[in-house]
Amino acid sequence: MSDRIGGGNLVMGVPKEAFRPSPIFLGLVALFVTAGVMAWNGFGNVAFDVFLLVVTGWLISLCLHEYAHALVAFRSGDIDAAHRGYLTLNPLKYSHPLLSIVLPVIVVVLGGIGLPGGAVWVNHGALRSRLRSSLVSLAGPATNLVFAIVLALPFVFGVTGETHTEFWAGLALLGFLQLTAAVLNLIPVPGLDGGNIARPWLPYSWKRTWDVIAPFGFIMLFALLWNPTIGGAFFDVVFTLGDLIGMPSYLYGDGFALLRFWNYTTN
């Protein structure tokens, strides 16, 4: 419900400006669309077009992932999520630009894994229940999964990638990255979304240990994925999900080769 006070519209006591997409996010969307048009038409270096398409698409997904966390938190009682700028989709509001934006992009380009990016600070004490606290954490990876399904729709409805192959390979790779992000974030490791989903339901004594381990969650995650058995199982799950939603796995490799445009050759 909106109230008009002093000529300004409020939503739950927060100015509507706090909900408007930031110019940075809108710029990313514009660049994503432009890169898509360039890749579709094979403009210039098509491999670089795909690189731009995938990277800007990934940055958009990082914004949407964190926005989903913040929106559910806001609707669950953490009004400060809006005051902190989290609902403007501005990637600079979510965390440190180097660790939350640059590092995930580097990992995407070099490793083909959707590394979790920035993090919104949620006041879990303001949330109305343990279930809502878990839903806040679930919202991010759920958004990645929805994004992947949307990207898979053209293939479900008959696109094979035989024409405009580079464009469709880039889109398939972007969808694959969304699946890796969703699965990665759902692993119940302290400090990650999967761990945060479980945390509200743990006994208090366990939570104290959990919180001590949480800052090292990323390191634990990479240690787990480095194990061939666990890493192989992780990608088996990702490929299975891709098959279930209709994402063509035969385009992933082409997309990844194009993404690394500095090594790409047409031979």
Q: How many CB atoms lie within 10 A of CB 110?
A: 10
Task: Identify any residues that bridge with 8 across adjacent strands, giving them in sequence order.
Answer: 5
Q: Which amino acid is at 252?
A: Y
DSSP-derived letter for residue 13 is T
Q: Exposure string (b/e) for 226-239, b if CB count within 10 Å is 16 or more? A: eeeeeeeebeebbe
Contact 59, 65 (CB under 8 A): no
**Token pair of 218 as six digits:** 């990323």
Burial of 3 (0-12, 13-18, 19+ CB in 10 A): exposed
Residues serving a catalytic function are: 66
Q: Which amino acid is at 195?
A: G
Q: How far apart are CA 43 and CA 157, in angstroms?
A: 26
Contact 186, 193 (CB under 8 A): yes
Contacts of 4 (CB under 8 A, 6+ apart): 10
CA 16 to centroid of chain Cα atoms = 25
Largest CA distance in the chain: 65
64: closest CA among 220, 174, 188, 199?
Answer: 174
Q: How far apart are CA 25 and CA 63, in angstroms?
A: 8
